[in-house]
């Protein structure tokens, strides 16, 4: 869709006054949607997202474009828990698989870390807020009913991260497939599915969570593992700040554990999923583009060491990580 087409869609949804001018500009970072900012003549800013059928990665990765409805449902549900946690959905076009969101200010957490600003306390806030979402939704049949189809999560997470990677690593394939089966089976709480630092703003009042096309009714351990995996990857990418990043890992884990007590076994499941997700960020359909091949080899070896330890708990993971070659 052209810029003019996107602006026309926003206007048709009633978000621009008749005759009100507006400019559109691209926002970066996504592989699964066209994402643009809109600056209206009044000075108001909006975000427009439109799902695309084939994701922008080297591998052939496709997912249902109807995931815009899933994202809107997650944002609305999380916003009802705390308005600060997620941008408000202003409008949606089901025909064009497009949603319009309010603009939220704040730097992206990933960019802050890349610039050398590793805020351990902020990581703890992220863990606290993830726990709030899971604790507020666990066992809620009314919320589960908004996310009845697990197919989207399979297409965007289980298949491209676990099963695709299993096909490339025969030595750990049984372990990865078992984790995939377990992940598909557990459906207990609202899962974000993309708890990545690139999707978290350091807002003036705390973390703001963005980009929820992968949301599902599933295993909350996945969100915890997904976010902690990114912190471990960044100990390699941003090696001079590795100690602070491991402190961030611990702060996030501890805050999450204090806030979500409904599932005592989630720590062990999350530790195993970290091994799988680390390997997926090297050899899955969505590799971490900021690592070089030497760093990828380190991640491969460490991921397999974690997968070989089914008893590993998150509390012991930072020390175990530090001890790996």
- What domains can be seen in the chain, in order of their start residue? 3-102 (3.30.200.20), 109-323 (3.90.1200.10)
pLDDT at 26 over 90: no
* pLDDT tens for each residue of 236-281: 999 999 999 999 999 999 999 999 999 989 999 999 999 999 999 9
Compute φ and ψ for 121, nearest 5 degrees. -65, -35
265/65 Cα distance (integer angstroms):
34
147-187 pLDDT, tens per residue? 999 999 999 999 999 999 999 999 999 999 999 999 999 99
Rounded mean pLDDT of the chain? 93
Rounded to two decimals, the pTM is 0.95
What percent of the chain is predicted at pLDDT more than 90? 78
Q: Which distant-in-sequence residues (6+ apart) come within 8 Å of 315 by Cβ?
A: 253, 267
Angle between the 221-237 and 293-307 helix axes, to the nearest 10 degrees? 140
What is the band of 96 on the pLDDT scale with cuts at 50, 70, 90? confident
Rounded CA-CA distance 85/302 in Å is 33
Whole-number percent of the chain with pLDDT over 70: 97
Pair 35, 172: CB distance under 8 Å: no
């Amino acid at each position: 869709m052209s810029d003019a087409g996107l602006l026309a869609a926003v206007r048709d949804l009633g978000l621009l006054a008749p005759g009100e001018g507006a400019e559109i500009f691209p926002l970066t970072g996504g592989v699964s949607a066209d994402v643009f900012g809109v600056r209206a003549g009044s000075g108001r800013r909006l975000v427009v997202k439109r799902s695309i059928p084939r994701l922008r990665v080297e591998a052939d990765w496709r997912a249902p474009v109807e995931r815009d409805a899933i994202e809107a449902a997650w944002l609305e549900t999380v916003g009802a828990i705390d308005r600060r946690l997620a941008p408000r959905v202003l409008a949606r076009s089901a025909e064009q698989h497009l949603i319009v969101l309010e603009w939220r200010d704040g730097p992206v957490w990933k960019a802050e870390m890349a610039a050398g600003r590793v805020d351990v306390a902020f990581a703890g806030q992220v863990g606290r807020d993830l726990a709030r979402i899971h604790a507020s939704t666990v066992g809620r049949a009314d919320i589960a009913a908004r996310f009845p189809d697990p197919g989207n999560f399979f297409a965007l997470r289980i298949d491209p991260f676990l099963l695709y990677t299993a096909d490339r690593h025969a030595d750990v394939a049984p372990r990865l497939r078992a984790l995939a089966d377990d992940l598909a089976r557990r459906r207990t709480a609202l899962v974000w599915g993309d708890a990545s630092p690139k999707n978290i703003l350091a807002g003036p009042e705390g973390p703001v969570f963005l980009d929820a096309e992968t949301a599902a009714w599933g295993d909350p351990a996945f969100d915890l593992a997904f976010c902690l995996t990114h912190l471990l990857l960044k100990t390699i990418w941003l090696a001079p700040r590795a100690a602070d990043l491991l402190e961030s890992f611990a702060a996030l884990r501890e805050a999450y554990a204090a806030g979500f007590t409904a599932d005592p076994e989630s720590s062990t499941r999350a530790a195993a999923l970290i091994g799988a997700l680390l390997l997926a960020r090297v050899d899955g359909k969505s590799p971490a583009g900021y690592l070089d091949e030497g760093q990828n080899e380190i991640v491969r070896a460490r991921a397999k060491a974690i997968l070989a330890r089914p008893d590993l708990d998150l509390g012991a993971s930072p020390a175990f990580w530090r001890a790996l070659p």
